[in-house]
Amino acid sequence: MNPIVFPAVCATGAVLSLLPVGGRRGVIIGPAAFLLACGSALLTGPADSVSLGGVRLDGSTYAGSYLAFGSAAALLLSLVDLASGRANRRTTAATLAALAALGLAFTSTDPSVSLLAAGIAAVTGSAAGVAAGSMDERPDRGTAEARATGLIVASMLFAGIAVARPSWTGADGGVIAAAFAAVAAGLAVRSGSVPFHLQAARLAKRGASTLTALLLVWIPAGLGLVALGWSQIAAGVRSDWLDAAVAAVQAVALLTLVLGSVGALLHDDPSEVAVYSTLADSGFLLLALASRNAESTASARLWLLVFVVAKTALMTWAGAVGRAPGSTRLGSLSGWIRRDPTLGLVLVAIAVATIGWPGNPVFEARQKLVATGLPPGFGFVGIVVAALSIAYYGRALLTGLLPSSGPVLSAGGAASGRVSTAAASEPSPVSQAGSQRERGAGRRARAPAIADAEAFEPTLQLGGATGNGRALPQAGSETAGDPGRRERARLVWATDRISAVSLVAVVSALLALAVGMGGLGATGAATGGIPLDAAAAAAPTPGPSPQPTPTPMPTLPPHATLGPLPSPSGETPSGGIAPSPTRSAAPASVPLQ
Amino acid sequence: MIELSALAAAATVAGAALAVGGRDRRAVLPGLVVAMLCAPFSVAPLPAPLALAARLSGALLAADLVWVLARVKGWQPSWNSLGLAGSAALAAAAFVVGLWLEPVKPLPGGSAAQAAGLALVVLALGPLASSDPTRLGIGATVLTLGAVELARSWIGAAPALEDLMVALLLVALLGTTGLLMVPAALTKPAPGESGGLDEAGLKLTPAVRVPTGGSGSIERGSHRAGRPTQSEAREPGGEDSPAEDAAELWDRPLPPGRPARPEVPRFGAPGPHVRRTRHPRDIGPSR
């Protein structure tokens, strides 16, 4: 498929998401656009190419895989937000716009266009954060976000200048070192690396899951991929400044890997655990940038795919695990696995997909990044980070295996209570759609689904409290209002949002596990790359500036010649061409006759 | 004969100086528009018509977006210590230095574009160090314009798609800046209700600016959401600042039994469709 289809689908979806379309049509625009985008990304292969505005856009297996996984992850997380009543169409539009920009960045053969597109993706993410009100409520809210945006845009523009390698009058090692530092700083700020992690931590408390994933996973991973491709120009550059910049990036990566994991271990809120885990694993992006090693590029690409899918799944889990008990602290969530064992399996799958085991593609990729990105002697860091990751995943799992706490018991003990929690306390998009319908004349015939749910509440209670609160009327039951399959599906969506979220979490975890084990073509795709890799590697090395050749002064012959003078046309009387006075290295002297 | 590129470069720098140093939105926003419109013409040779069309339409769209948001919210730029004269002098100095410097030889895009680019980058440093997010957004926009000018000067002509991306980047930057002008209470959707920015696109409602008293009719806690932000309240030193007076008015307790003070007449009287906002503490995270 034409590589322009994916950006076009995403851009159209972004515009449509912002249109004032009410009711269910307005709700499903975002997921439908994500689904279409995922399909178009899957259908874009390496043989597809198109020229647009003087730039060729080439499809590639890796770009297709990355964009397909990203779209699928966005689709799943948007479903979670829909189910939990946190859907925000501006966030959906910004996510689609960012995906469109990343689609252009990953297919463009012009490095400047790729970098500009990555900058646009970062700015749309910031716009989503601002529009969703995820910033602090202080008067200077948005200052940090605006600074981060300015830094990322400036770094991308500067990198675009550096990759073009204009004919500097001096050596360009300093320029490339400065651009490397700028790109790394932009990536570190956007991914929330230590010490820029505070804003990301606040995001966990305020933002919806989609917004958190957009700002902390999808956009940093996209920026990381573009930065990785761009860094090919720094592979053969020898400069003290570049070595210093690489050392700084290594230090930030090391701090992020260790302190982020410690932060995930210390925090109690599942959302914060997910965010700090994401921050910690984003340290591998910086390691990939610092490695400047062609061997580690394939490992970095595979890690990026796993990062996108697994961290999205982790945020889905975090959104699901505290939803039913209505608590956001692991301390009061003890026994959550007893209430919903599925979510426990989801967390195990995410941990396995992220950490792997010796011999597993993900584990080997992490080890390779540590080995090539850090100086010799720091190889133990990979093991330490893996141990810390196992510790915080294990802590969450252990909490789930403990005896159930009060909130978990109350959430899992009464089906009707859960229904009221899910359907009443959290206004769903269906209810919002219902309220919008109430405002419209002629649409009152379609009653909101919540009203149906309330009508079926006795049925739900009759279904019995199974402990996980998933009692729904069975097909063919003797109840008066036998809803039928479609009706029951609607009821599941309207009332049992936790089951829907758990289902989405299961799908996310399975996707993460498959990618983490190198399946779904991830390993093969990672050996390829995006067109930016080749374009940056082929960037012309500036030669010495063309200096004008000094024109030697015409040398007088040592002796005056008495021969015939050449004619003004340069022809000798004998018909030959007289030697140019500027090119004659040793003018022939004619002896006096 | 003075070349078009030199004139355009000078106009670009003048517009940017106005945008950075201006103390009134009637100066800042037109300055930004002039800078964005003139910047593509400062490169010699001129870009292709398609690229020019992309840049100009992007500039107009970005300007329209930020102008609408600024008008609706009554945004005013924060205090700038340099002022217009200082910004203009700084820009002129950087422009001259840019004409003199030769970091790349030969210059494919001409020295005027390099001078304009350097001046814009220098001008952007002040707002980027500011704590006002709107100033920061304007600084990021000026910095983007400057970097693009430098790239054109050092690298030469770019394909049309690159100019289209630059235009989109400017639109995104100024759109984000416009959103930063909106007070927090209007941008943050409360659980269960749509955001202050109307779900139907970016249809905005004016902010409530009714100071509350002991028996005020406004709901509890809502006065803080309507308090002037730091970007609106000028720093100490500014005289006759209505926003600063309003901030002081908010902090001063009213004597008991006295009715609520009249509205601060800065944004005009609130109409019948004024949206009342909630305190962030009441909005809070939904968990």
Give pLDDT tens digits for A540-584: 665 444 444 454 555 444 444 444 444 444 433 333 333 333 333
State the Cα–Cα distance between residues B208 and A300, nearest whole angstrom. 51
Q: How distant is the Cα of A453 from the closest Cα of chain B, in angstroms?
A: 18
State the DSSP H helix or E strand holding residue A569, giving kind and residue range, or none if neither: none
Structure tokens at B261: 């003070």
pLDDT in tens, chain B (287 residues): 578 888 999 999 999 998 888 877 777 888 888 999 998 898 888 888 888 898 999 888 888 887 776 666 566 666 666 778 888 899 899 999 988 888 888 888 888 889 999 999 999 888 888 777 778 888 889 999 999 999 988 888 888 888 999 999 999 888 888 777 765 444 444 443 333 333 333 333 333 343 433 333 333 333 344 444 444 444 443 444 444 444 444 445 555 555 555 544 444 555 556 666 666 666 656 54
Please report the pLDDT score of residue B12 as a whole number: 92
State the DSSP H helix or E strand holding residue A263, giving kind and residue range, or none if neither: helix A240-266
**Chain B residue whose CA is closest to A85:** B192
**Chain A residue whose CA is closest to B227:** A139
Hey, which residues 121-150 in chain A have their CB within 8 Å of chain B? Answer: 123-124, 126-127, 130-133, 135, 137, 139-143, 145-147, 149-150
Instruction: Give the three-class secondary structure for A52.
Output: strand
Q: Is A15 exposed, middle or buried (0-12, 13-18, 19+ CB in 10 A)?
A: middle
Structure tokens at B265: 């007449």
Residues A362 and A353: beta-carbon distance below 8 Å: yes
Residue contacts between A and B (CB atoms, under 8 Å): 173
Which one-letter amino acid corresponds to residue B30? Answer: P
Hey, which residues 314-353 in chain A have their CB within 8 Å of chain B? Answer: 322, 326-328
Tell which phi-psi region holds residue B45, choosing left (phi > 0), alpha (psi between -120 and 50) or beta: beta
State the Cα–Cα distance between residues B53 and B32, nearest whole angstrom. 18
Structure tokens at A512: 């993460």
Q: In chain A, what is the straight-line distance between the N-terminal and C-terminal CA atoms, in Å?
A: 84
**Chain B residue whose CA is closest to A328:** B287
Sign of CA dihedral A278, A284, A289, A295: negative
Please report the pLDDT score of residue B119 as a whole number: 93
ipTM, 2 dp = 0.73
Please report the pLDDT score of residue A196 as a whole number: 80
Tell whether A446 lies on the interface with B, counting CB pairs under 8 A: no
Give pLDDT tens digits for A190-243: 888 888 877 777 776 665 677 788 888 888 999 999 998 888 887 777 778 888
Closest of A79, A16, A9 to residue A40, by C-alpha: A9
State the Cα–Cα distance between residues A257 and A384, nearest whole angstrom. 9
Give pLDDT tens digits for A1-45: 788 899 999 999 988 888 877 666 777 888 889 999 999 998 888
Hey, which residues 58-97 in chain B have their CB within 8 Å of chain A? Answer: none
State the Cα–Cα distance between residues A583 and A555, nearest whole angstrom. 10
Judging contacts by C-beta atoms under 8 Å, the chain A residues touching residue B162 are 53, 55, 110, 112-113, 116
Tell whether A174 lies on the interface with B, counting CB pairs under 8 A: no
Q: Is A525 exposed, middle or buried (0-12, 13-18, 19+ CB in 10 A)?
A: buried
Q: How distant is the Cα of A351 from the closest Cα of chain B, in angstroms?
A: 25
Please report the pLDDT score of residue A586 as a whole number: 35
State the Cα–Cα distance between residues B236 and A415, nearest whole angstrom. 59
Instruction: Give the three-class secondary structure for A249.
Output: helix
Please report the pLDDT score of residue B143 as a whole number: 92
Q: How far is CA A470 from the centre of its chain?
A: 34
Please report the pLDDT score of residue A138 as a whole number: 52
Indicate yes or no: CB of B140 within 8 angstroms of CB of A146: yes
Nearest-Å Rg of the Cα atoms of chain B is 22
State the Cα–Cα distance between residues A420 and A248, nearest whole angstrom. 52
C-alpha pair distances (Å), A284 with each of A191, A372, B105: 11, 11, 39
Give pLDDT tens digits for A325-336: 566 677 777 778
Tell whether B155 lies on the interface with A, counting CB pairs under 8 A: yes
Which residue intervals of A108-239 are DSSP H helices?
Answer: 111-131, 143-164, 173-191, 198-206, 209-213, 219-230
Instruction: Give the three-class secondary structure for A521.
Output: coil
State the Cα–Cα distance between residues B266 and B264, nearest whole angstrom. 6
Q: How many residues does chain A have?
A: 593
Please report the pLDDT score of residue B146 as a whole number: 92
| Phi–psi pair at B73, nearest 5 degrees | -90, -5
Indicate yes or no: CB of A153 within 8 angstroms of CB of B173: yes
Q: Name B100's Cβ contacts closer than 8 Å, sequence gap at least 6.
A: none
Tokens 């980058």 map to which residue?
Answer: B121
Which one-letter amino acid corresponds to residue A453? Answer: A
pLDDT in tens, chain A (593 residues): 788 899 999 999 988 888 877 666 777 888 889 999 999 998 888 888 888 888 888 888 888 888 998 898 888 888 877 776 667 778 888 889 999 999 999 999 888 899 999 999 999 888 877 776 644 455 455 777 788 888 888 899 888 888 887 777 777 778 888 889 999 998 898 888 888 877 777 776 665 677 788 888 888 999 999 998 888 887 777 778 888 888 999 999 999 999 988 988 888 888 888 889 998 888 898 988 888 777 788 888 888 899 988 988 888 888 777 666 566 677 777 778 877 788 888 899 999 988 888 888 888 888 888 888 888 888 888 888 889 989 989 988 888 887 776 666 665 543 333 333 333 344 444 334 434 433 443 333 333 433 444 443 333 332 333 333 444 444 444 444 555 666 766 666 666 666 777 788 888 888 888 888 888 888 888 888 888 888 877 766 654 444 444 545 554 444 444 444 444 444 333 333 333 333 333 333 334 33
C-alpha pair distances (Å), A213 with each of A17, A49, A92, A236, A515: 19, 30, 12, 35, 18
pTM of the model: 0.73
State the Cα–Cα distance between residues A309 and A514, nearest whole angstrom. 10
Indicate yes or no: CB of A123 within 8 angstroms of CB of B155: no
Point out the residue among B139, B159, B192 whose CB comes nearest to the CB of A150.
B139
State the Cα–Cα distance between residues A492 and A490, nearest whole angstrom. 5
